[in-house]
A = this chain, B = another copy of it.
Amino acid sequence: MPDYQAPVDDMVYLLKEVFKADEVFAQLPEYSEINVDLARTVLEEAGRLCANVLRPINLSGDIEGCHLENGVVRTPKGFKEAYKAYVDGAWPGLSATPEFGGQGLPRTLQILVDEMLSGSNLSFGLIPGLSRGAAETIEAHATQELKEKYLPKMIEGIWTGAMALTEAQAGSDLGLLKATATPREDGSYTVSGSKIFISSGDQDLSENVIHLVLARLPGAPAGSRGISLFLCPKFLVNEDGSLGSRNNVNVGSLEHKMGIHAQPTCVMNYDDSQGWLVGEPNRGLNAMFTMMNAERLFVGVQGLGLAEASYQTAASYAKERKQGRTPGGKDTTSIIEHPDVRKMLLTILSFVEAARALTVFTALEMDKEKAHQDEATRKTASGLIALLTPVVKAAFTDFGFEATVLGQQVLGGHGYIREWGQEQFVRDARIAMIYEGTNGIQAQDLVVRKLILDDGAPVSTFFALISQTLSESASQPGAAAIAAKLGAALELLQNVTKKLQKGDFANATDQNAAATDYLRLFALVTFGWFWLRMALVTLAKGDGADARDKRKLTLAEFFTTRILPQTASLAEQIEAGSKTLLALEADAF
């Protein structure tokens, strides 16, 4: 199995040449000292950790899996040492607030590191990833007392966090959940209920696990407006910050999953656990959703990271493996000379590099939303993030999964064999299409809520950005073919968008029926936009374009001629409406 190499050069290319990140950070007082050189240093250091520490235990961790022994979860061999290295490198606090010991670096750097974690060892990467989500939720909603008690150790990484939402009967529809919380005299609560699919629910890496648990207060309204959020630590914490007695927070079992075997996904039982309210009563979902954009961006990036990892193995194999002859040729050749094999590799690449561009774009908007001094800029950023979050989550994980399947196919029979690593990427990638809101639900969010958000301002802003790049490209004859195809695809997208916003399909049923096709159409146009932008970067350099620049231009041509045409069929499918979907009675299935 080839090594993982963090794609630092491609990341820096995006920061520097496509997004001019130095100029962005210069506008943000909090990040004014951040620049691309610093970013490269951080990314290279993270890349070394991922390549040298995390990737070597990815396959072995998959094979060994986690084990539950006497109520305690044991992670696979090497995970303890790896986690120690992760903590020693201060990675848990990379983007966390300096107020509680974090380094306060931008989201943009964090998310690029997240891509590497996902690509080198997703099972591991989920542990700090979810812990960060829990810490950010506490930071945004908990009392100062809770923050001071829990955040420093979570940000240091010696404690970790877990998010306990799902119950057997309440998955996508959290309004159905039944866990309860009753007040105690000391202001804390007694939390009871059983939760499933709890990532990092327990492990032997951190000294304490801080669970954020959704539960209902006595007399709370039914449905999603009667849910509150509670902090239930595995070990109670004494006044001086030392660990006290064991809280009644127990692992019922480890889930038997298709992939991410080294990730301790637990059934958790909270049996009269002691917990503390986070945020307002009955506003628990709200508190959770504050962090949802960041979490969903992280999940999307998991699809991207695994696609990159699968690509690296596939490309390396394709260059080495001798099999068959070039079309019309006579000598045995490396399979990379077969156009069909190249098509698979280019399909992966043209997704990976455009998705990474969208990642950086979105993360920079998040940094602006947080740190820009101009309110209008913050508002625009906020709208774009809301709009793009479901696209990133669902499209990256759908295309990312498909990319790992292609990367597996390049290896032929070896792709199906565990030792080569490709089949693990497929199994690991599959979960990202499901958790943190299934991709179907992301599509509903995009179509039902985000298209009409703020009277449609974010989507109009976004389309205007694409149109602006199309206008800029008019002066570059070398980009004419790419721009023409993108322009046509954008027009299709804008047409169906109008129909979904307030035209023929602006009703709940047609929106629901259109959603997944629409999200895919939206994502393809967005990827096309970034390919045009990268092509323009190359063309602007004229004779100064180097090999990397020329490669981007070729990839842009590949994407627009070989992938973007899917937009035509997606638009036609959406135009079919919901009629045939509803024609059958449920019993006919």
Contacts and interface: CB of A to CB of B under 8 A. Distances in A.
Q: Which among A416, A419, A439, A444 has the greatest number of chain B C-beta atoms within 10 A?
A: A416
Contacts of A408: 430
Interface string A403-419: 00100110011011111
B513 A343 contact: yes
A558 interface: yes
Contacts of A415: 434
A498 interface: no
A401 B408 CA distance: 13
A573 B581 contact: no
Contacts of A567: 569
Nearest to A578: B339
Given A551-B588, A569-B568, A516 B418 contact: no
B430 A346 contact: no
A440 interface: yes
- A contact face: mostly helix, strand, loop, or mixed: helix
Nearest to A169: B322
Q: How large is the interface on A (under 10, 10 to 19, 20 to 34, 35 or more residues)?
A: 35 or more
Given A258-B426, A323-B172, A589 B416 contact: no
Contact of A561 (B345, B580, B582): B580
A430 B584 CA distance: 31
Nearest to A314: B589
A341 to B, nearest CB: 7
B343 A581 contact: yes
Interface string A234-252: 0000000000000000000
Interface stretch (A22-30, A211-219, A378-386, A503-511): A503-511
A324 interface: yes
Contact of A557 (B435, B563, B578, B580): B580
A558 B580 contact: yes
A565 interface: yes
- Copies of this chain present in the complex amount to 2
B434 A339 contact: no
Interface in A546-589: 547, 551, 554, 557-558, 561-563, 565-569, 572-573, 576, 578, 580-584, 586, 588-589
Interface of A: 166, 169-173, 176, 196-197, 255-259, 315, 318-319, 322-324, 327-328, 332, 334, 336-346, 349, 401, 405, 408-409, 412-413, 415-419, 423, 426-427, 430-431, 433-435, 438-440, 443-444, 507-509, 511-513, 515-516, 547, 551, 554, 557-558, 561-563, 565-569, 572-573, 576, 578, 580-584, 586, 588-589
27 contacts: A166-B413, A170-B323, A171-B323, A171-B413, A172-B324, A173-B323, A256-B419, A258-B417, A258-B423, A319-B589, A327-B507, A327-B509, A337-B586, A338-B512, A339-B582, A340-B440, A340-B443, A346-B580, A349-B589, A409-B439, A416-B431, A416-B434, A554-B583, A557-B583, A558-B580, A565-B568, A565-B573
Q: Which 10 A-B pairs have the closest CB atoms?
A: A327-B508, A328-B508, A561-B576, A258-B423, A339-B513, A256-B418, A565-B572, A565-B569, A315-B589, A558-B580
